[in-house]
Structure 1
């Protein structure tokens, strides 16, 4: 069975079938609609967004194409960053910065009624909550949080703590690990890149639609032999003798990405055994990517 070659040497057709674009989602369409536009523009069988954004929300929405849609779970492991306008229902109190800072750390949240998940009380971690600016009855917040945090609910709770009440105004996602807003591409950029590629200029296309391995750089890396990769493609587990190099602590069973020596992604899994052992399973497979 043939394996993918080095990411930077792939043809445009191969990129379409295993690619990721760090899309700047506009206000208006749903994340699902945007994924459909990307699928149709590239002429691939499927495309998937990584982390839902409401229609009014803008910003960082990585989109996966072709076989890369199997990678969607990696965005459940990382952190998200947002910039939100907190619309206060009264004048901002003098201690607004101190009150906002109290929400850093672990908080309790119950998903809203319209959520697709079960409405059970759960915890989410707010890694950083910075007050950037206060003007009249508006406060600008930067939020770095665990995936699955409901920012609208967070804004409501901050308003209650301030004693004024508040709701979320404009919201923009500025990062979803491992992507951020430093290299966003719009739908217009993608369509233009496709037209340039059809005219013989591949560079804009390659800058816009990246190898899907770019979505895995924040995960611990396990390098396996090509012979082991072919076995994985046929349904086998990753056993210690096939591991060339590895990162991560098996005791923590982290989600890892397995690669061939030339950098092509093979599978996702959990590091469960000692990769330096003479025998035994090293990685428990979760997603085969070839």
Structure 2
């Protein structure tokens, strides 16, 4: 399980605090970002980020409607109820499927690429596609190929991590440094604001960001809505906090970023 993987990474690295971004069922493979130490504070960013999967759809018969036509109908906001064994309340909810492609097909199987909102149940999606096709279907194999900016080209096995930890014990840290990314890599897709060192010191004690402390704000930050997360950085590029824009960065005074989470 994802919890077990987090525990393994914690034991291997010797870091007591570890968290994972999302879950993977025991028979599902692929990307599972693990955060260590203070980087666990950014867990909500990765947990809530978009995911991409490759799934095998096992067809129970011949579709009554062309499969590609059926699949295109699910590239939208879908209604889902968590499965009976889910850890969350079984309330009907919506999730958005951003992109759904039929990659390959044989007589009784279809290979799907699915980019979707966090929390989408792929097993339920496959079931519903089967119902819409008129033949029934279930999910066969599933692989998560990306979470936010991390994809399966960057996967690291626990064996590789163990080897790197052994080299670290021999005072050769470069192997571990190649494996463990700074938290700022995971935050890169979010809008960014650079704040003055004095403002960063205030933020570290829980103060919001005021207009005079803002040095620069990227285009996405300037147009961010009040529900959009953004990241404040020091001039050297260290992430200071997660927050939400509550004022104009062109202002001379007043609060412009309301804190959501301090990262330093």
Regarding TM over 0.5, the answer is yes
Which of residues 183, 189, 194 is equivalent to 1:218? 189
Answer whether contact 2:187 2:231 (CA < 8 A) is retained: yes
Answer whether contact 2:51 2:144 (CA < 8 A) is retained: yes
User: Is 1:280 equivalent to 2:254 in the alignment?
Assistant: yes
Show the counterpart of 1:270: 244
Of the structure 1 ranges 105-114 and 235-244, higher mean CA displacement relative to structure 2 is found in 105-114
Q: Distance in 2 between matches of 1:171 and 1:70?
A: 28
Answer whether contact 1:92 1:137 (CA < 8 A) is retained: no
Give TM-score scaled by structure 2 length: 0.94
Give 1:202 shift.
2.5
Q: Distance in 1 between matches of 2:112 and 2:37?
A: 36
Which of residues 14, 31, 35 is equivalent to 1:60? 31
- Structure 2, unpaired ranges of 5+: none
User: Is 1:126 equivalent to 2:97 in the alignment?
Assistant: yes
User: Is 1:99 equivalent to 2:73 in the alignment?
Assistant: no
User: Is 1:31 equivalent to 2:2 in the alignment?
Assistant: yes
**Where does 1:78-227 land on structure 2 (aligned, <5 Å)?**
78-92=49-63, 95-227=66-198
Show the counterpart of 1:229: 200
Q: Secondary structure at the match of 2:6?
A: helix
Q: Secondary structure at the match of 2:132?
A: helix
Give 1:136 shift.
2.4
Give 1:65 shift.
0.1
Give 1:168 shift.
0.8
Aligned residues: 261
Q: Distance in 2 between matches of 1:93 and 1:142?
A: 22
Of the structure 1 ranges 196-205 and 153-162, higher mean CA displacement relative to structure 2 is found in 196-205
Show the counterpart of 1:259: 233
Answer whether contact 2:65 2:134 (CA < 8 A) is retained: no
- Cα deviation 1:31-75 (Å, max 9, x = unaligned): 000000111111112100011111111101010001111111102
Give 1:263 shift.
0.6
CA RMSD of aligned residues (A): 1.4
Q: Secondary structure at the match of 1:70?
A: helix
Q: Distance in 2 between matches of 1:94 and 1:251?
A: 41
Answer whether contact 1:272 1:281 (CA < 8 A) is retained: yes
Q: Distance in 2 between matches of 1:231 and 1:106?
A: 41
Q: Distance in 2 between matches of 1:49 and 1:76?
A: 8
User: Is 1:240 equivalent to 2:214 in the alignment?
Assistant: no
- Structure 1, unpaired ranges of 5+: 1-29
Give 1:118 shift.
2.5
Q: Distance in 1 between matches of 2:15 and 2:155?
A: 21
Give TM-score scaled by structure 1 length: 0.86
Q: Secondary structure at the match of 2:103?
A: strand
Show the counterpart of 1:25: none
Q: Which of structures 1 and 2 has the larger relative contact order (alpha carbons within 8 angstroms, sep 6+)?
A: 1
